[in-house]
Amino acid sequence: MAKLDGKVAVVTGASKGIGAEIARNLAAEGAAVVVNYASDREGADRVVKAIEAAGGRAVAVQADLSEPAQVARPFEEAVKAFGRVDVLVNNAGIYRFAPIEEVTPELFHAQFDLNVLGLLLATREAVRRFGPEGGSVVNISSVVATAAPPSSSVYSATKAAVDAITRSLAKELGPRKIRVNSVNPGMVETEGVHAAGFAEGDMRVQFEAAAPLGRIGRPGDVAPAVAFLASDEAGWITGETLDVAGGFR
């Protein structure tokens, strides 16, 4: 029996990268999955097709979680398609590194509106639909919440906020049998990392030099940790932040 048999999971920002691998992994563990995307319909459809080809169940649902009016959509569609919601993975997020001279209200709000407010509103929608048996929320944070590299002041602040939200909501929602944890990846090789020019740059060299395991991560390094925290195997774990970063601190 797979660890998520009978569960329904909503994965935000799941059209590519870490989110796509999380969606595929949850499906492989038995969950029916809502693959949320903001703009990459083609990528989301590929994830759905891969899940279905492997014998799983999934639907793609568009919603830009930085827009409050759209946040409920993936959860409404989850109930329509699969009848319930048991797991939320808050993966949708963006990062823009900038020195302090280039920090603007627009840069601040672009990251905080999605990485923090979008996460809170998505969690609110999931909590409204979890049954009496509770549910599991897994937030995708980052080691930058504590490492805070140069020129990451806004992005690091969003992830520090995610970690604080994780601890607070775990205490608030525990009496309702809802667990809230976060997975904090280090540098992971994704389409976004390549597009930003980080995959072969100084940041990679610095990360690999500081990580005891000596390499950056892959999406497949992160997804199994999410599946574990989402499952009943982690039934006595809440309010925790799990670094998945090759030992990087």
Active-site option among 155, 198, 207, 248: 155
Q: Is 37 a known active-site residue?
A: no
Distance between CA atoms of 28 and 134, rounded to whole angstroms? 22
Look up residue 62 and give its amino acid.
Q
Contact 103, 124 (CB under 8 A): no
Residue carrying the six token digits 């205490």: 171
CB 93, CB 67: distance < 8 Å: no
Angle at the Cα of 226 (from 223 to 232), degrees rounded to 5? 135
Q: Which of 87, 99, 155 shows the shortest CA–CA distance to 127? A: 87
Phi, psi of 212 (to 5 degrees): -55, -30
**Residues identified as active-site:** 155
